[in-house]
């Protein structure tokens, strides 16, 4: 599972999962905190459709943290202000970057959570589509 997909699951899914995965690393390794979770701003890019050029639409408030585990640096960045989740994401990222043995068992956990997220999205989409009006079937 690549970094983008892993982070999406950990951010969109149950925050207890990130907490549990990070706890495994915290209990087995020394965590060197490089940057405590702090607030920042990130420029948000959008693509203009006609010319396909990128432009900055504005700024987004984020929280970010950096840690080091076994000589590998991990980064946790997310929109919002959940400092604990940012720290846990950084610890998990560092564990993956260091290729620690604990990460081998995490794939199934992350895939299961990804399935739950997809099911929630499908359920929400289905409930929204129930209210959709189809004007083609109206007799005018």
Neighbours of 64 (CB within 10 A): 20
Q: How many residues does the chain have?
A: 140
Would you say 92 and 23 are in contact if contact means Cβ atoms under 8 Å apart?
Answer: no
Domain parsing of the chain, residue ranges: 3-116
Q: Tell me the per-residue pLDDT of 13-59, one tens digit each, with 9 for 90 and over.
A: 998 999 999 999 999 999 999 999 999 999 999 998 888 898 899 99
Q: How confident is the model at residue 139 (pLDDT cuts 50, 70, 90)?
A: low
Tokens of 55: 């432009």
pTM (2 d.p.) = 0.84
């Amino acid at each position: 599972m690549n970094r983008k997909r892993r982070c999406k699951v950990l951010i969109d899914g149950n925050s207890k999962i990130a907490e549990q995965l990070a706890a495994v690393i915290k209990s087995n390794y020394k965590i060197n905190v490089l940057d405590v979770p702090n607030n920042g701003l990130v420029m948000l890019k959008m693509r203009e459709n006609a010319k396909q050029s990128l432009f900055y639409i504005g700024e987004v408030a984020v929280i970010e943290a950096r840690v080091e585990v076994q000589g590998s640096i991990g980064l946790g960045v997310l929109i919002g202000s959940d400092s604990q989740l940012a720290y846990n994401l950084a610890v998990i990222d560092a564990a993956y970057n260091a290729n620690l043995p604990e990460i081998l068992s995490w794939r199934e956990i992350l895939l299961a959570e990804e399935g739950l997220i997809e099911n929630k999205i499908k359920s929400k989409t289905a409930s929204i589509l129930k209210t959709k009006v189809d004007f083609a079937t109206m007799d005018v």
